[in-house]
Amino acid sequence: MRAAELIEQKRNGGEHDPGELAELILAYARDEVPDYQMAAWCMAVYFRGLSAAETQSLTDAMIRSGETLDLGALLGRKVVDKHSTGGVGDKTSIAVGPIVAACGVPLGKMSGRGLGHTGGTLDKLESIPGFRVELTTEELVAQLKDVGMAIVGQTADLVPADKKLYALRDVTATVDIVSLIASSIMSKKLAAGAQAIVLDVKVGDGAFMKTLDDARALAEQMREIGTRAGREVTCLLTDMDQPLGRAVGNALEVDEARDTIRGDGPADFTELVLDASARLLAYSDLGIDVDEGRRRAQAAVDDGSALETYERWIRAQGGDPDPSVLEQAPVQMPVAAPREGVVSRVGALAVGNAALELGAGRRTKDEPIDHAVGVLCFAKRGDTVLAGDDLAEVHARDDESARRAVAAVLAAYEIGDNAPVDHGILLDVVD
């Protein structure tokens, strides 16, 4: 295999031999192909694309570049997983996991950290004092057997080729390639060892995929990769034109996830959590359908078993589940409605960027996170407000940053005279 020949082949619109493509990826992971050649290949793929067979070969090679887990074999039963493509206020996994586990189905998940306006699940969990995201495989399996769920950080030995390739794409304007996005996500999911996966593909202003058509194309590619690998995959296409739920910010989101687990969450977030939980339960070895999964998920919330499982899970990973221990920002400043009317829009990206400026996110991978700061969006699309009502509340470290965030969040709101069309949180399902 010569990298220059594969670059030329893809530049000219040709299709790679699966073995040669796999060797290119593995050689790059071994530092045998320089960044400048791999960057050229990524740009050729950007313009020419990859076939389904090439995407599958790429995914397989990235999995082969490191270690893999087979959680089903280690536990002796079917393990499920849930993944989101990332959005503003997306704390879904923190709420879904305990509900599914309370229903008797193990959920093992490897998560990442946030970059930009979309927060990472690990960052949110680390706002809980003492919470430990690094577990050995033995600890992970033991916790899954004892508690029924675990959310941990991805090990350095899991899909190292993807980590290296993504870092290169990030600095060469080649991130937004559907086949490479699909392969990146699914290589990690498949290597982590779950047998059934529900993928939450965000659509809209605050998501990577801005249109339903683009999101559907990504969902179909990810589902095909999973199906070819013998996994069961459902993709939920969900609205990210406005923040999910009310809370945007690490500790604020953990608190809202806990509220939702005990039945007091915002309507849109609760709907997504119960829907995702129902589909995971239907994929499990319980032998039930989605409707029965929804009934059992709701029952786990209503009878308190989901909250009990949440608390056991947090303690198992060294954290304190008491919400009073979460750090609160010293400055809390309201965002007042400038006029009476109906909220027609809450720009997710603008709210996410406001939280980022407060310190709730990071621009570079080494930047520290402020777990306490963020935004609470009290008024959502379709809500009626009066002049002076609190649209939102900014949680900040100081008055100056709070005032800047208030202005940014206010600009994210559009208030009109007529209610917008309500399309709900779930836009489509690919299964």
> For this structure, is 82 an active site residue?
no
> For this structure, is 91 an active site residue?
no
Q: Which is nearest to 274 in space by CA: 378, 425, 125?
A: 425
> For this structure, is 83 an active site residue?
yes
- Indicate which residue of 188, 216, 258, 395 is catalytic: 188
Look up residue 16 and give its two tokens: 């790679």
Q: How far apart are CA 165 and CA 185, in angstroms?
A: 12
> For this structure, is 48 an active site residue?
no
- 3-class SS at 431? coil
Q: How far apart are CA 231 and CA 233, in angstroms?
A: 6
- Indicate which residue of 16, 83, 164, 371 is catalytic: 83
Q: What is the DSSP string of 36-97?
A: HHHHHHHHHHHHH---HHHHHHHHHHHHHTSB---HHHHHTS--EEEEE---TT--HHHHHH
Look up residue 208 and give its two tokens: 């990577």
Tally Cβ neighbours within 10 Å of residue 403. 14
Amino acid at 381: R
- Indicate which residue of 57, 93, 179, 184 is catalytic: 184
Q: How far apart are CA 311 and CA 321, in angstroms?
A: 5
Are 425 and 380 in contact by the 8 Å Cβ rule? The answer is no
- Indicate which residue of 162, 205, 241, 275 is catalytic: 162
> For this structure, is 184 an active site residue?
yes
| b/e burial code for range 331-364 (CB count within 10 A of at least 16 → b) | bebbbebeeebbbebbbbbbbbbbbbbbbbbbee
Catalytic residues: 83, 162, 169, 184, 188
